[in-house]
Amino acid sequence: MPETFLILKEYFGSILFLGSYVLSFAYLCVTEKKKEIRIALVYYPAMMLVLFLLPPVHKLVSAVMNDTAIYYRLLWLLPASLTIGYAGVKVISELKNKWIRIPAIVLCLCVLVGTGDYMYDNPYFSRAENRFHIPGAVQLICDAISIPGREVRAAFPPHQVMFVRQYDPTILMPYGRNIQIDGWDKFPEQYGFYEAMSQPTIDCKTVAEYAVETGTQYVIVHMYQPLEGTFEEFGYQAVANVDDYVIYCSTGSELFSLW
């Protein structure tokens, strides 16, 4: 199957949703008489789909954007929800009996719900702990280590990396979320430290060596994180416990005296 078909399939995600769009499109193809609506919801999407599926267009867009992973965005130009919504309204409008319309609306809504997937069941959703929409622990750790008017460098547990600088851009990091996307080959200088912090059992010596090498003043680990050795042996002292996390500060840093 050509790659563009696979992208199309992945974009719709569910055969039921794709099916409801195809049905709505076919229904409008056959029944719609108004020229402007035929152009907007029949001819234009057909033209768009043909363009999208053509491998040369795929190659051209990917080459211009220098990225093959974003080709699916062309499908944002396809008015799928509008077509399904309009087709549903059109079906209901054509019912002569006013009293049949209400159960028909309910039936249509049931079909839309049944062919879809509830957005807020997505596992990436969670209850907001603050207006920054970041984990409360990250907020507390950042508040503990940041100093007004200057930058500090801290190594956070990998799962917190993406939130830290959203809250406080004055906290620099020896590795960032880029390492989680692009991996070691693009950022070899960051990868060693990141990998050391990602181990089930953290080797304090390795982490401390990377921390010294990168000028990282703080290392943050979960209080129940299994450790091999102690950070104290390698020049990092626990200075605070914040919401299940231990903050270690370099004893050689001028920041250590502030604790």
Which residues within the stretch 99-118 sit at the binding site for another protein (CB under 8 A)? Answer: 101-102, 105, 108-109, 112-113, 115-118
Burial 225-256 (b: 16+ CB within 10 A, else e): beeeeebeebbbebbbebeebbbbbbeebebe
- Position among 137, 171, 207, 219 found at the interface with another protein (CB under 8 A): 171
Q: Which two tokens stand for residue 218?
A: 């703080």
167 binds another protein (CB under 8 A): yes
Amino acid letter, 206: T
Which residues within the stretch 125-164 sit at the binding site for another protein (CB under 8 A)? Answer: 125-129, 131-134, 151, 153, 161-163
Nearest approach, Cβ of 233 to another protein (angstroms)? 27
Reduce the DSSP state of residue 240 to 3 states and report it. Answer: strand
Nearest to 172 by CA among 193, 203, 200: 193
Which residues within the stretch 194-233 sit at the binding site for another protein (CB under 8 A)? Answer: none
Nearest approach, Cβ of 173 to another protein (angstroms)? 5
Pairing of β 218-222 and β 236-242? unpaired
Q: Which stretch binds another protein (CB under 8 A): 173-181, 215-223, 232-240, 251-259?
A: 173-181
Integer Cα distance of 248 and 242 in angstroms: 11
- Position among 1, 96, 97, 120 found at the interface with another protein (CB under 8 A): 120
Instruction: Report the residue number, 75 or 212, with the smaller CB distance to another protein.
Output: 75
